[in-house]
């Protein structure tokens, strides 16, 4: 294996140097180098090859040859054009119908080049631990004594054999771009190249130009978009959560008596969680499709923030129910819809406008925790969780104060408990999802699968089975089906109406005639005694 030492500090190991004369007329393609014609000791790697298409000497439509276009380059004077056309031939015995193709394969050139990469994220999404895991293959063709530098009509194919096969994942076909001014010497870019084949030992790339190529990979045990042994279990857990969320929504939307604002907030929370889980399930592994991956990442960004926004609104609504005298559980919800859906849409749109290339990474169609764009998600989520916890603390204090004075508002204690538990399970689940996507630690995957599988059934338990409003609505439906005696129905209706028109104040029962509003009674009591601020509460029986 030849070695070329340029200086004391730079010594390249060349696997193969191949120079081949090609007949341009009726060129049917070629596979280089011709390992079978090599003399002496064969290199260890005889599988790294270059396949030139039959149209390699055909210029794309509407484009001129490199020599013709060089004449019209701005800043080119007549002397340079004359020197270009009259210089001595590099290959004087080369006929007009022939060209020279050279292929040089460097085994350790990548380790000597600076670790610089294209800053355009649409061109190259650099893995967390990047490494060049193939030889560097340099390809050039001299046609009419000029280096062919134009784009090709059909791409060339480069077949690489990996240097290492263990813990090497997420292959990206790259080339050394001298025009990248990151360090003044160029850098690796993926423009015009793509992976067309991959197995455990080989990677095939196709590129629409000729230069020096290699394959960039990640030092990782996990493949692109795979969760290895947990893949099937993860899908099952998400399916269980989706089924539970769908069942929860049907109960909350199907019961006609559940028309309170609190139940509407929960329905919107369930909708946001359902679609976020669905998009996560269907699109998180579409990293090989850049546009689709970007759209999926944007949708996940929006839906996750919507879920936490509605969780924050639930905490705010429960606190208002406990702290305000008037009944706020019924009425318009324009403010809630604006915060629950409008604010996340505004934040997501702003993030897309500022950095659209930041969505999607080599692992998954999601945000990378190593990119500054992650703060457009983590920041609002952290604020929503912190504010929700703060509001639940205030609501708990208000509940304790009311209980000490002997008052308790109906349904608020159970709503407070279920809302806080829902927020807790959501926060832990999606924190583990973020860590499992951006980390190789298998523990995060196990934890995410467990919490995600538990999330949907727990919400169904809290919002449906343990909800007093839902159970009351179900009992009323069952009671209507089994009630046949009109006398009993009339009696129960009158009794309920009588009870609903009674109010307890200081241990005394105030009865309001049918059809009259209780607002005058409450106003009278409040005007007489300022400490009766908990009139909407029900006096607890000792």
What lies within 8 Å, CB to CB, of 181 at 6+ separation is none
Confidence of residue 491 (pLDDT cuts 50, 70, 90): very low
pLDDT over threshold 80, residue 377? yes
HSE-up of 456 (CA within 13 Å, CB side)? Answer: 27
User: What pLDDT does residue 414 have?
Assistant: 63
- Quick one: CATH architecture of 226-477? Up-down Bundle (1.20)
Region 491-500 average pLDDT: 42
Q: Which residue has the higher pLDDT, 164 or 477?
A: 164
**What is the per-residue pLDDT across 47-102, written as a single tens digit (0 to 9) for each?**
889 988 887 777 665 544 443 443 343 444 444 444 444 444 444 455 567 788 88
pLDDT-derived band at 356, boundaries 50, 70, 90: confident
In the chain, CATH 2.60.220.50 sits at 4-56+98-218
Tokens of 214: 């290699």
CA angle 374, 375, 380 (to 5 degrees): 120
Pairing of strands 136-143, 212-219: antiparallel
Tokens of 169: 């994942």
H helix or E strand, kind and range, residue 206: strand 202-207
Higher-scoring residue by pLDDT: 412, 417: 417
- Joined together, the tokens standing for residue 532 give 């009766």
Distance (Å, rounded) from C-alpha 322 to C-alpha 411? Answer: 10
User: What is the Cα–Cα distance from 421 to 416, expressed in whole angstroms?
Assistant: 9
Residue 203: what pLDDT?
92
What does the pLDDT read at residue 440?
A: 64
Output the 3-class SS for 7-66.
Answer: ECCEEEEEEEEEEEEEECCCCCCEEECCHHHCCCCCCCCCCCEEEECCCCCCCCCCCCCH
DSSP state of 179: T
Contact 438, 369 (CB under 8 A): yes
| Helix, strand, coil % in the chain, rounded to nearest 5 | 45, 20, 35
Which overall architecture, per CATH, does domain 4-56+98-218 show? Sandwich (2.60)
Instruction: Report the alpha-carbon distance of residue 291 to residue 138 in Å, rounded.
Output: 30
User: How far is residue 243 from each of residues 25, 212, 274, 278, 458, measured CA to CA in Å?
Assistant: 65, 51, 9, 11, 12
DSSP-assigned states of every residue in 470-520: HHHHHHHHHHHHH---HHHHHHHHHHHHHHHTEEEETTEEEE--TT--THH
Q: What's the CA dihedral at 126, 128, 134, 139 to 10 degrees?
A: 10
Given a cut of 80, whether residue 12 has pLDDT beyond it is: no
86 vs 231, more confident: 231
Least confident of 123-127, 159-163, 445-449, 484-488: 484-488
Which of 311, 309, 287, 307 is closest to 297 using CA atoms? 287
- Decide if 84 contacts 178 (C-beta within 8 A): no
More confident: 39 or 156:
156
Distance CA 234, CA 284 (A): 12
Q: Which of 366, 352, 358 is nearest to 276 (CA)?
A: 366
Looking at residue 434, its pLDDT comes to 77
Q: Which of 298, 308, 274 is nearest to 428 (CA)?
A: 308
**Cα 311 to Cα 31, 314, 337, 433, distances in angstroms:** 61, 5, 12, 18
Which of 7-16, 165-174, 510-519 has the weakest average pLDDT?
510-519
Report pLDDT for 345.
95
User: Is there a cis peptide before residue 453, judged by omega within 30 degrees of 0?
Assistant: no
Q: What is the pLDDT of residues 164-175, one digit of tens each?
A: 888 787 788 999
Residue 305: predicted pLDDT: 94
- Every domain of the chain with CATH number 1.20.1070.10 lies at 226-477
- Mean pLDDT (the chain) is 75
Lookup result for tokens 């809630």: 336
CA dihedral 407, 256, 334, 417 (to 10 degrees): 40
52-66, 376-390, 450-464, 507-521 — which is least confidently predicted?
Answer: 507-521
Local structure of residue 194 (DSSP, 8 states): E
Residue 1 has pLDDT above 80, yes or no: no
Q: What pLDDT, on a 0 to 100 scale, did the predictor assign at position 168?
A: 82
Q: Which of 42-46, 194-198, 381-385, 524-528 has the lowest mean pLDDT?
A: 524-528
Which segment of 152-156, 220-224, 293-297, 302-306 scores lowest on mean pLDDT? 220-224
pLDDT of residue 74: 40
Tell me the H-state helices in 284-411.
290-323, 334-337, 343-354, 375-404
Q: Which of 377, 363, 85 is nearest to 220 (CA)?
A: 363
H-type alpha helices, 156-230? none
Alpha-carbon distance 166 to 185, whole Å?
Answer: 31
53 vs 229 pLDDT, higher one: 53
Least confident of 44-53, 103-112, 158-167, 365-374: 365-374
Residues forming beta bridges with residue 50, ordered by sequence position: 32, 158
CA 47/CA 51 separation, integer angstroms: 12
Percent of the chain topping pLDDT 90: 21
Q: What is the number of alpha carbons within 13 Å of residue 75 lying toward its C-beta?
A: 0
Q: Are 276 and 298 in contact (CB under 8 A)?
A: no
Residue 495 has pLDDT above 70, yes or no: no
Of 207, 218, 16, nearest to 105 (Cα)? Answer: 16
Contact 451, 425 (CB under 8 A): yes
State the Cα–Cα distance between residues 124 and 176, nearest whole angstrom. 12
Q: What is the pLDDT of residue 369?
A: 65
The pLDDT of 234-254, averaged and rounded, is: 89
Give the model confidence (pLDDT) of 17-30 as tens digits.
888 888 877 777 88
Q: What is the Cα gyration radius of the chain?
A: 35
Counting Cα atoms < 13 Å in the Cβ hemisphere of 281 gives: 20
Portion of the chain with pLDDT greater than 70, in percent: 70
Is the entire prediction scored with pTM above 0.85?
no
The whole-number average pLDDT for the span 343-367 is: 82
Q: Is the separation of the CB atoms in 174 and 216 below 8 Å?
A: yes
């Amino acid at each position: 294996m030849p070695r070329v030492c340029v200086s004391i500090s730079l010594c390249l190991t060349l696997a193969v140097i191949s120079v081949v004369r090609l007949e341009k007329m009726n060129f049917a393609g070629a596979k280089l180098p011709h390992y079978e014609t090599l003399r002496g000791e064969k290199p260890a790697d005889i599988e790294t090859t270059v396949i030139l298409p039959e149209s390699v000497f055909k210029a794309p439509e509407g484009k001129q040859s490199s020599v013709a276009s060089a004449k019209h380059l701005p800043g080119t004077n007549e002397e340079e054009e004359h020197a270009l056309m009259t210089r001595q031939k590099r290959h004087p015995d080369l006929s007009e119908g022939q060209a020279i193709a050279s292929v040089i394969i460097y085994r350790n050139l990548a380790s000597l080049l600076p670790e610089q990469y294209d800053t355009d994220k649409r061109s190259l999404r650099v893995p967390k631990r990047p490494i060049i895991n193939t030889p560097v293959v340099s390809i050039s063709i001299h046609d009419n004594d000029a280096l062919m530098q134009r784009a090709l009509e059909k791409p060339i194919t480069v077949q690489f054999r990996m240097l290492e096969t263990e813990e090497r994942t997420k292959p990206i076909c790259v080339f050394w771009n001298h025009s990248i001014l990151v360090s003044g010497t160029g850098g690796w870019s993926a423009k015009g190249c793509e992976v067309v084949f991959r197995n455990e030992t080989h990677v095939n790339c196709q590129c629409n130009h000729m230069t020096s190529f290699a394959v960039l990979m990640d030092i990782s045990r996990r493949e692109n978009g795979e969760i290895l042994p947990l893949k099937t279990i993860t899908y099952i857990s998400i399916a269980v959560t989706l089924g539970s969320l769908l069942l929860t929504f049907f109960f909350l939307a199907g019961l006609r008596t559940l028309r309170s604002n609190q139940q509407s907030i929960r329905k919107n929370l369930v909708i946001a969680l359902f679609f976020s889980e669905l998009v996560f399930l269907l699109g998180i592994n579409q990293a090989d499709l850049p546009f689709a991956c970007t759209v999926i990442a944007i949708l996940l960004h929006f839906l996750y923030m919507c879920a936490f926004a509605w969780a924050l609104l639930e905490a705010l609504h429960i606190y208002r129910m406990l702290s305000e005298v008037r009944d706020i559980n019924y009425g318009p919800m324009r403010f809630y819809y604006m915060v629950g859906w409008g604010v996340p849409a505004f934040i997501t749109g702003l993030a897309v406008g500022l950095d659209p290339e930041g969505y999607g990474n080599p692992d998954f169609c999601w945000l990378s925790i190593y990119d500054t764009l992650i703060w457009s998600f983590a920041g609002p989520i952290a604020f929503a969780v912190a504010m929700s916890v703060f509001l639940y603390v205030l609501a708990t204090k208000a509940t304790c104060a009311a209980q000490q004075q002997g008052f308790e508002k109906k349904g608020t204690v159970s709503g407070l408990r279920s809302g806080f538990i829902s927020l807790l399970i959501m926060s832990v689940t999606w924190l583990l999802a973020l860590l499992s996507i951006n980390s190789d630690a298998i523990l995060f995957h196990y934890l995410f699968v467990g919490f995600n599988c538990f999330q949907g059934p727990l919400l169904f338990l809290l919002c449906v089975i343990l909800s007093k409003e839902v159970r009351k609505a179900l009992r009323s439906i069952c009671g209507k089906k089994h009630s046949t005696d009109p006398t009993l129905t009339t009696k129960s209706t009158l009794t309920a109406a009588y009870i609903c028109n009674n109010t307890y104040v200081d241990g005394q029962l105030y009865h309001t005639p049918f059809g009259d509003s209780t607002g005058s009674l409450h106003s009278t009591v409040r005007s007489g005694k300022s400490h009766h601020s908990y009139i909407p509460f029900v006096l607890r029986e000792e």
